[in-house]
């Protein structure tokens, strides 16, 4: 039998985690099924996976000039990070120290720090500098194995500054290996110049930002920070309905500090995801189950804010809500780019098993941003977004923490990181 020519084959993985088959997003028992192939291998042609199986099967059917021996390693889909805020200026390590000294995140925000601190800085920063800093952050994501991110605006809070932020993401999407699902988060916070005129700001987001972002294809999703101190359920509904009408997908920062009703709104409106959920109620969990929304959990944020309350991952999983994980990368409440430390936090604090956490960081995360047909698993026909980790098995990934297990990153069939 003549063998077919591939552009790249990867062989001899200790464990290849395919995440293949079954219902997507995965729920409950299926979250534990990583589709492990011992001695796994795959063949890539162009940007796509052509075949995946045992090393014997792949070598019987494929040949390639470029072959990577993954002996002693885990081969898996690149991490998908479905909740990040990578477009900001400066950093907020001073507020980090203020929190250690006893101030709460909400007290710092009320005193003009927090999100509005980043807003003032972004507005004063030229677009080229925003682009350069966001690009450096994408480099870090990639180095730690993340091949696709959802990325939000939300530190501009004016039509110009929000569109500028989204344009930075669009330019990066064209020029950087990391794939981006861009989200308009004009409703991150009411900006200071609209103090006392909340209704007008909601109208600006719904009536101006959303139509522009949709028409110019600058955003694929619209998100709202539905929380006390940010936007009410009613305001969030107005904005997200406008987004739906404009053809954008929708997501919600829901029930982070209080059971504000964000998860119920997500279910009501058919959101792609309800994110955070640290304070979600039993009723909120019931509403989410079967709504089609993916619960995107952000343990990095609970950790970084040193909250005792983490999202009730086990209750969500048991209720049949599909669960994904994300970094929530942002300068105020979760300053990490690493999905690997998020997996550790998910295991330790959310009591997710390593297998559940990996499912949540790949195929379920892809589903949370509507890309499960293209990425998030190792299956013929999918994009070849693959990472090779220097670990003996998948449990080792969250177990040995605080470092970077990534040896090789492949995005759309190209080797983009070799360490």
Contact positions vs a copy of itself (CB under 8 A) = 91-94, 96-97, 100-101, 140, 144, 300, 303-304, 306, 308, 335-338, 340-342, 347-349, 351-354, 392-393, 395-396, 398-404
DSSP calls for 154-220: -S--SHHHHHHHHHHHHHHHHHSSSEEEEEEEEETS--GGGTT-HHHHHHHIIIIIHHHHHHTT--S
Q: Cβ closer to a copy of itself: 263 or 340?
A: 340
Q: Cβ closer to a copy of itself: 141 or 231?
A: 141
Label residue 114 left, alpha or beta by phi (over 0 means left) and psi (-120 to 50 means alpha).
Answer: left
Three-class DSSP category at 129: helix
Contacts of 171 (CB under 8 A, 6+ apart): 131
Q: Cβ closer to a copy of itself: 62 or 144?
A: 144
Q: Cβ closer to a copy of itself: 228 or 399?
A: 399
Which single residue is written with the structure tokens 């988060």? 185
| Residues linked to residue 11 through DSSP beta bridges, in sequence order | 69
Q: How far apart are the C-alpha atoms of 351 and 371, rounded to whole Å? A: 26
Taking the complex as a whole, how short is the minimal distance between the CB of residue 318 and a copy of itself, in angstroms? 14
Q: Cβ closer to a copy of itself: 54 or 91?
A: 91
Taking the complex as a whole, how short is the minimal distance between the CB of residue 195 and a copy of itself, in angstroms? 29
Taking the complex as a whole, how short is the minimal distance between the CB of residue 94 and a copy of itself, in angstroms? 7
Q: Cβ closer to a copy of itself: 215 or 400?
A: 400
Q: Cβ closer to a copy of itself: 57 or 139?
A: 139
Q: How far apart are the C-alpha atoms of 98 and 352, rounded to whole Å? A: 31
Taking the complex as a whole, how short is the minimal distance between the CB of residue 11 and a copy of itself, in angstroms? 23
Q: How far apart are the C-alpha atoms of 360 and 275, rounded to whole Å? A: 13
Taking the complex as a whole, how short is the minimal distance between the CB of residue 396 and a copy of itself, in angstroms? 5
Q: Cβ closer to a copy of itself: 101 or 174?
A: 101
Taking the complex as a whole, how short is the minimal distance between the CB of residue 118 and a copy of itself, in angstroms? 14
Which single residue is written with the structure tokens 């989200």? 183
Provide the pairing of β-strand 146-152 with 179-187: parallel
Q: Cβ closer to a copy of itself: 224 or 342?
A: 342
- Is 113 in contact with 92 (CB distance < 8 Å)? yes
Q: Cβ closer to a copy of itself: 125 or 203?
A: 125
- Is 377 in contact with 22 (CB distance < 8 Å)? no
Q: How far apart are the C-alpha atoms of 299 and 306, rounded to whole Å? A: 10
Q: Cβ closer to a copy of itself: 115 or 272?
A: 115
Three-class DSSP category at 38: strand
Taking the complex as a whole, how short is the minimal distance between the CB of residue 205 and a copy of itself, in angstroms? 30
Taking the complex as a whole, how short is the minimal distance between the CB of residue 189 and a copy of itself, in angstroms? 21
- Is 253 in contact with 226 (CB distance < 8 Å)? yes
Q: How far apart are the C-alpha atoms of 206 and 121, rounded to whole Å? A: 24
- Is 155 in contact with 125 (CB distance < 8 Å)? no
Taking the complex as a whole, how short is the minimal distance between the CB of residue 199 and a copy of itself, in angstroms? 36
Alpha carbon dihedral 149, 326, 232, 95, in 10-degree steps, equals: -100
Taking the complex as a whole, how short is the minimal distance between the CB of residue 306 and a copy of itself, in angstroms? 5
C-alpha triplet 75, 79, 84: angle, nearest 5° = 170
Taking the complex as a whole, how short is the minimal distance between the CB of residue 218 and a copy of itself, in angstroms? 28
**Residue 75 phi, psi (nearest 5):** -110, 130
């Amino acid at each position: 039998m003549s063998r077919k020519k591939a552009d790249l084959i990867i062989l001899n993985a200790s464990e290849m985690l395919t995440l293949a088959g079954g219902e997507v997003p995965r729920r409950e028992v299926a979250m534990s099924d990583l589709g492990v192939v011992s001695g796994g291998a795959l063949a890539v042609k162009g940007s796509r996976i052509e075949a995946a199986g045992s090393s014997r099967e792949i070598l019987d059917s494929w040949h390639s000039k470029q072959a990577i021996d993954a002996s002693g390693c885990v081969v898996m889909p690149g991490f998908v990070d479905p909740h990040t805020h990578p477009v900001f200026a400066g950093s907020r390590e001073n507020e980090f120290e203020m929190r250690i000294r006893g101030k709460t995140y909400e007290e710092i925000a009320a005193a003009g720090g927090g999100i509005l601190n980043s807003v003032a800085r972004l507005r004063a920063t030229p677009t080229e500098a925003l682009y350069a800093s966001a690009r450096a952050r994408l480099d870090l994501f990639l180095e730690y194995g993340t091949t696709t991110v959802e990325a939000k605006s939300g530190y501009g809070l004016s039509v110009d500054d929000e569109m500028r932020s989204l344009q930075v993401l669009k330019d990066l999407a064209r020029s950087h290996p990391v794939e981006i699902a861009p989200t308009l988060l004009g409703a991150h916070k009411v900006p200071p110049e609209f103090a006392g005129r909340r209704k007008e700001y909601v109208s600006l987001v719904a009536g101006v930002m959303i139509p522009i972002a949709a028409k110019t294809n600058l955003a694929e999703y619209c998100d709202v920070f539905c929380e006390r101190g940010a936007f009410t359920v009613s305001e969030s509904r107005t904005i997200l309905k406008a987004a739906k009408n404009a053809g954008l997908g929708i997501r919600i920062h829901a029930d982070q500090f209080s059971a504000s009703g964000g998860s119920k709104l997500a279910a009501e409106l058919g959101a792609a995801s309800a994110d955070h959920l640290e304070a979600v109620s039993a009723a909120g969990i019931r509403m989410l189950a079967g709504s089609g929304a993916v619960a995107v959990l952000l343990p990095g944020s609970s950790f970084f804010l040193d909250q005792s309350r983490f999202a009730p991952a086990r209750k969500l999983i048991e209720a049949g809500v599909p669960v994904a994980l994300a970094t929530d990368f942002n300068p105020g409440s979760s300053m990490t780019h690493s999905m690997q430390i998020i997996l550790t936090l998910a295991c330790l604090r959310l009591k997710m098993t390593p297998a559940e956490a990996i499912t949540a960081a790949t195929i379920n995360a892809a589903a949370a941003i509507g890309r499960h047909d293209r990425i998030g698993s190792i299956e013929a026909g999918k994009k070849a977004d693959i990472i090779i980790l220097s670990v003996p098995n998948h449990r080792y990934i969250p177990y040995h923490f605080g470092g970077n297990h990534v040896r090789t990153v492949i995005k759309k069939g190209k080797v983009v990181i070799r360490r």
